[in-house]
Structure 1
Amino acid sequence: MPPVSQQPPTYSVELFPPKTPEGMEKLKREIAQLNSVSPGYFSVTYGAGGSTRERTFETVDWLRGHAIETAPHIACVGSARAEIREIVGRYREQGIRRLVALRGDLPSGMGGGTGGDFRYANELVSFIREEFGDTFKIEVAAYPEYHPQSGSPERDLANFKRKVEAGADAAITQYFYNPDAYFAFIESCDRVGVTLPIIPGIMPITNYTQLARFSDACGAEIPRWVRRRLEGYGDDVESLRDFGHEVVLNLCRRLIDGGAPGLHFYTMNQSGPTLRLWRDLALPLPA
């Protein structure tokens, strides 16, 4: 197996902007807990068609106001070039130097058309490079089990390569629970000359119903034996979470031992499950 990365590992966390002032206050408490282990950065999601734009700005503003390294998501579908230029310029003025560039999902009601100047994430990456040069480190999405809308692994790999060639610096994967899928994807990338760091996305398991819904929507496979065990716990939340923790802990160990260039935790705005993994994995802590 080829080496995955020669760079120092990056361990980062992802948040989503809350919908209410009460949710924002709760998130601030969760951020304080997560920040106790000094992640490399906090990424902040951006809703379909910019539906959470103002809440994303609010969350990013708060993080930057507390000198926390931040990587806002930018989703381009449905957006005009002038709008993206304004958003990225705003982030540059805040001293942000890392972005997660995505196509994004169409908001409900938009049908099949994009309604904007961008169709794909590679176009967004190219635009940011044209307008802002090397100001930002740009991360893009990768799909070890391939994106459900791509039609085939080969087509998905070609799409990913276009994003890389447009100027991406690194990639973050959709979450998965089969490490072999990740390593097979890395080998496929290596065969087509794509060698940038591809950081596994890690989703803690805390709620089976929610996880099954997410996974069915995004095409992430939950191994059958894991599904069966999770289903068997029923309302025994504590046992389900303990089992889920062991599944994800073993996944992370396999990835780290195999040379993955870091881990990106999808926290779902809950610090506890990610911090438990962080500590059991003995990931770096502040001196």
Structure 2
Amino acid sequence: MTKTPRISFEFFPPQGLDASFRLWDTVQALAPMQPEFVSVTYGAGGTTRKLTHEAVGIIHRNYGLNVAAHLTCVDASKAETMEIVESYYEAGVREIVALRGDAPKGAAAWEKHPDGFASSVELVEAIAKTGKFKVRVGAYPEPHPDSASTQADVDFLKRKIDAGATSAMTQFFFEADTFFRFRDACVKAGITAPVIPGILPVISWEGAKKFAKRCGTDVPARLDEAFTRAARDGREELYALAQCTQLCDRLIEGGVEDLHFYTLNRPELTREVVRALGIQPQLVLENVA
């Protein structure tokens, strides 16, 4: 019998009224699934820093969820970044996802702020030294766009763990074997911290392919053909549910105990996948005071 995994969800902060309603609908739909934690992202180049902080506080206060707030090195001095860290602590947050971050929109490449952290390793080390947070980081089972190879990504992940990170969530992928190869490489490198696979339920296949191209994620030809056929036959949603559930099942059969879902603030498919894995919703009382 397949073991029921622990789960977590990623949300992104709203940038408008419609997006705001969508975020809260997503939180309301997925909070009853009892996630281990939920994370809230930054926009590219740190563009949603204030919105992220507000969303983190509201989710923590109103839903009682364990929130891991994203934090990047982009466009901020070390002092400014650590002020944000302290404000998260004051808001009741005890977990941070520490990332280098992407280059601001329009920039040719990522550049260090003159007084800022030079890498996610430095950021992890600074947060860990406070002794106030569990620090999570990103991991890349396929080479990061700025990386020379998967082995280089494994080596860099080891540096982040050694700097004080306690776990990592991977970029999404479409083949379970991609994760298993990466996990084996991590073990060989001496990484003992949990490496949690990141799962992308496919709400739009065309959108997922564009996302994959930006992230350096391989798109298997067989999957492209299958989604194309499913869309032509009017059953793309059904196939997306089957594809994502099968991927999760394969990971669990391979010993994975935690799954991190990139919800894109669209909860329906994620909720159906989680239920298919044997996790049933529990009553959550929202704090409306």
When normalised by structure 2's length, the TM-score is 0.91
Q: CA deviation at 1:259?
A: 1.2
Amino acid in structure 2 at the alignment position of 1:89 = E
CA gap 1:227/1:198 in 2 versus in 1, 3 angstroms: same
Q: Secondary structure at the match of 1:62?
A: helix
* Equivalent in the alignment of 2:194: 197
User: Within 5 A, what are the aligned runs for 1:137-152?
Assistant: 137-152=134-149
How far 1:76 moved relative to its partner?
1.1
**1:70–1:98 CA contact under 8 A, matched in 2:** yes
Q: Which residue of structure 2 lines up, in the alignment, with residue 99 of structure 1?
A: 96
1:126 aligns with 2:125: yes
Q: Which moved more, 1:166-175 or 1:156-165?
A: 156-165
Give the Cα–Cα distance (whole angstroms) in 1 for the partners of residues 112 and 6 of structure 2: 33
- Deviation digits for residues 203-226 of structure 1, max 9, x if unmatched? 001211111100000011121100
Summarize deviations over 1:114-153 as a string: whole Å, max 9, x none.
Answer: 23422221111011122x12x1111101111121211112
127 and 79 in structure 1: CA distance in 2 versus 1, 3 angstrom threshold = same
1:164 partnered with 2:145:
no
Q: Does residue 1:26 correspond to 2:37, yes or no?
A: no
Q: Counterpart in 2 of 1:267?
A: 263
Query: Which AA in structure 1 matches 2:170?
Result: T
Does the aligned pair in 2 maintain the 1:37–1:284 contact within 8 Å? yes
SS in 2 for 1:189: helix
**CA distance in 2: counterparts of 1:252 and 1:170, whole angstroms:** 19
Which aligned pairs between 1:44-55 and structure 2 lie closer than 5 A? Answer: 44-55=40-51
Question: For the residues of structure 2 that align with 1:158 and 1:182, how far apart are their CA atoms?
Answer: 16
Distance in 2 between residues matched to 1:244 and 1:23, nearest whole Å: 23
Aligned-partner residue type, residue 264 of structure 1: H
**Alignment partner, residue 241 of structure 2:** 245
Question: Could you tell me how far 1:235 is from its partner in structure 2?
Answer: 5.8
Residue pair 2:45, 2:104 contacting (<8 A) in 1 also: yes
- Give the distance between the partners of 2:84 and 2:20, measured in 1 at CA: 21
Structure 1 equivalent of residue 277 of structure 2: 281
- 2:255 equivalent to 1:256: no
Indicate yes or no: 2:110 matched with 1:115: no
> Once superposed, what is the RMSD of the aligned Cα atoms?
1.7
Q: Secondary structure of the residue that 1:146 maps to in structure 2? A: coil
Which deviates further from its counterpart, 18-27 or 84-93?
Answer: 18-27
Under a length normalisation based on structure 1, what TM-score does the superposition of the two structures give? 0.91
Amino acid paired to 1:187:
D
- The amino acid across from 1:276 in the alignment is E
Aligned to 2:212: 215
**Partner amino acid, structure 2, of 1:90:** S
Count of aligned residue pairs for this structure pair: 277
Is the 1:198–1:260 Cα contact (8 Å) retained in structure 2? no
Letter in 1 for 2:133: F
Partner SS for 1:151: coil
1:167-201 CA-partner distances (Å, limit 9, x unpaired) = 11000000011111111111111111111101110
Q: How far, CA to CA, are the matches of 2:225 and 2:253 in structure 1? A: 27
Matches of 1:216 and 1:223 in 2, distance apart? Answer: 12
Q: Does 1:187 align with 2:184?
A: yes
Percentage of identical aligned residues: 38
Cα distance in 1 for partners of 2:191, 2:90 equals 32
2:30 is aligned with what amino acid? L
The AA in structure 2 aligned to 1:125 is V
* 2:8 alignment counterpart: 12
Residues 49 and 76 in structure 1, CA contact (< 8 A), matched pair in contact too: no
Gap regions ≥5 residues in structure 1: 1-7
**Separation in 2, partners of 1:186, 1:29:** 34
- The whole-number CA distance in structure 2 between the counterparts of 1:244 and 1:9 is 20
The whole-number CA distance in structure 1 between the counterparts of 2:254 and 2:162 is: 26
- The one-letter code matched in structure 2 to 1:115 is H
**8 Å contact 1:125–1:166 — kept in the other structure?**
yes
Q: CA deviation at 1:48?
A: 2.2
Tell me, what secondary structure is at the counterpart of 2:235? helix
What is aligned with 1:59? 55
